[in-house]
Chains A and B, each alone.
Chain A
Amino acid sequence: MRRAAVATLLLLASTARGASAQRDTVLLSDREANAELTKILSAARDAGLPVKPILGKVRYGVMAHASPDSIVAKVRSLVARLAVSKDALAPDTTAADIAYGADALEYGATRHELIAVRQANGEKPALIPFSVLAQLVATGVPAKRAAATVIDLIKHHASSQQLAALGTEVNADVANGAPANAALDIRLHALTAVLAPPVSATDLGTVLPAAVIPKKKP
């Protein structure tokens, strides 16, 4: 019942933008928690924060059979991270960037690191760099190193695919027992050769074995 009640709140909150708090709470049985959620959602909207990740957090909490109080607490933390992310990425940012920035903060990145990644990425959407930052930090790579790695790869024109693959591979390595820093070392060195400025055959000159010149006939 409690699960259904919270879900009902979500439906109303997501579709009835601007609807009164009174309308949201009338239908719910867990009045205190739902009133709090409604208030948080309303405040988030007023602050210009994306609501979708908040609703997603509540939905997942419901599916995980979490208590309403626990859901409210986690939502409150998420909103705080969204606010930090929005502030760090201001003035020109998107809802997706704010949401993925908040993900990175959740796993241990700092506001300063979000700003640094954003600056390196320029005006392009930063959702993939932030996602990889979050994934690396979640894996156990120290946030400072994870941010430096992502920034370095951006500056070397790493593609979204290359960034995403790095995060996934490091995470998989760690899941298989490798230390996070060691896994990042290995994967980075594999990527380094790919990201190096291409060198043509003419640049490198005749390949090494050709240097072995036998003695000429007398």
Chain B
Amino acid sequence: MRRARLVLLSLFAATPLGAQWQLSADAGAAHLRQTGIPEANALSLGGSIDALGERAALRSRVLLSRAADQRWTGQGVVLASLIGPNTLGPNWELAGALSAFGQTSASSTTSAEGMARLRLGATSFGGAIGAGAGALFDATGARPLYHAQATAWQSLRGNQLIADVSFVGTVGPDLGNGALSDGTRYLDASASWRRDHGAFELGATAGARAGLNQSASGGWGSMDVTTWVAPNLALVATAGRSLEDVLRGVPRTQYVSLGFRVAAHPHASIRDLRPPPAAPKTMVTRTGVVLHADSASRVELMADFTDWEVVALERSGSEWRLLCEVPAGLHRVAIRVDGGEWIAPPGLPRAADDFGGIVGLITVP
């Protein structure tokens, strides 16, 4: 019941954000191994709902699984954050997390946590430090938890890198006489990498834990590969090893899983909206223009950045090049191949000009 409330809460909380949505459902099979526990196969059904509003973000994950012996497990986590209005400098962030984990014939573990963060930088490069507190509910009752975290991130040529150091501590269970036992404390350091490259999404995470009190030290890691085989359908493979997650109540596990993902929104790289690969392409950068025109014997270009003077491009293999300074901003470009008509360069977006012609339109960052 508590888990059901959690799922409903995640749906309700996301509604007023006026957000861009990402919804997906996963179905697959997993093979798991734990120390002292027989290896097992299980079928799993999961879902994710992500929403990004102007100053708010929400991520939720839910998974139900059924092992061969009719045993069910369930896990859900909801992360929500509200970010301050400052778009140009340091910014505050208030974040909250709710999680639940349970299995058939066993008591569940739930947690609620709030955190305040100071964020610096932008989405492409930045960092955050924060601290928070919450409560953990399990078979031994309710216990306080506390959490401090430092995170840095950078996006570099399509790669997203995140490094994170966090300290997690809990107060131990009530000893029955009003006193609390010594709790768990550990320090985690992790690094993760993600890349969305065409039809493939790749991710890897590695981390190490220093157990400070009643927690084992060790390392963990995981890899995942998502291959979009259709605009809304992907094959997802994951493998990894995780340590006990005190905050989420999940024990130490090794796993390999394979499944399908159905997404509500088509994956951009699969939706066939781009020109066919065989079409010649044009690239305009701050340092000039490069275009492919194998069969041409002469290529000329005129553009606002040449003051509409006609300039001949130089051949370099199958490419035609013009080295020149191109200011940032929107530019209109036209080319002429072998003395023919002025046309928009191949592969560039086209727009009508003021005088009845067509030019290529490109924004150079």
Contact = CB atoms under 8 A, between A and B. Distances in A.
Interface of A: 55-57, 59-64, 66, 70, 74, 96, 100, 103, 107, 120, 122, 124, 127-128, 130-132, 134-135, 138-139, 152, 154-165, 167-169, 171-176, 178, 183, 185-190, 192-217
Contacts of B351: 107, 138
B350 to A, nearest CB: 6
Contacts of B188: 202
A172 B149 CA distance: 42
Max count, chain B CB within 10 A of own CB: residue among A122, A210, A217: A210
A208 B63 contact: yes
A175 to B, nearest CB: 6
Contact of B83 (A183, A197, A210, A217): A197
A79 B158 CA distance: 40
B8 interface: no
A193 B20 CA distance: 10
Contacts of A64: 342, 353, 355-357
A217 B151 CA distance: 39
Contact of A196 (B50, B356, B363): B50
A122 B88 contact: yes
B42 A189 contact: no
Interface of B: 20, 22, 26, 30, 32, 34, 36-40, 42, 44, 46, 50, 52, 54-55, 57, 59, 61, 63, 65, 67, 69, 71, 73-75, 77, 79, 81, 83, 87-88, 93, 95, 97, 99, 101, 103, 119, 122-124, 149, 151, 153, 155, 160, 162, 164, 166, 188, 190, 192, 196, 205, 207, 222, 224, 238, 240, 242, 245, 247-248, 250-251, 253, 255-257, 265-269, 271-275, 302, 304, 307-310, 327-330, 332, 342, 347-351, 353-357, 361-365
A127 B251 CA distance: 52
A74 to B, nearest CB: 5
Contacts of A202: 149, 164, 166, 188, 190, 247
Given A127-B328, A168-B349, A200-B190, A212 B30 contact: yes
Classify the secondary structure of B's interface with A: strand
A198 B128 CA distance: 10
B307 A201 contact: no
Contacts of A59: 307-309
A12 to B, nearest CB: 15
Contact of B363 (A154, A168, A186): A168
Nearest to A174: B349
B361 to A, nearest CB: 6
Contacts of A157: 87, 122-124
A124 B309 CA distance: 31
Nearest to B42: A212
A176 to B, nearest CB: 6
Given A127-B329, A210-B250, A203 B124 contact: no
A164 B266 CA distance: 22
Nearest to B239: A209
B329 A96 contact: yes
A176 B251 CA distance: 50
B114 to A, nearest CB: 13
B275 to A, nearest CB: 6
Contacts of A207: 222, 224, 238, 240, 242
Contacts of B69: 215
B201 to A, nearest CB: 9
- Closest 5 CB pairs between A and B? A171-B349, A214-B40, A211-B75, A131-B330, A190-B268
Contacts of B97: 203
Contacts of A173: 273-274
Nearest to B206: A201
A12 B28 CA distance: 73
A196 B123 CA distance: 8
Contacts of A169: 268, 273-274
Given A103-B330, A131-B329, 9 more contacts: A59-B307, A160-B365, A172-B275, A172-B348, A200-B151, A206-B253, A208-B44, A211-B75, A212-B65
B353 A211 contact: no
Nearest to B247: A205
Given A172-B349, A212-B30, A158 B192 contact: no
Contacts of A120: 87
A209 B268 contact: no
A163 B365 contact: yes
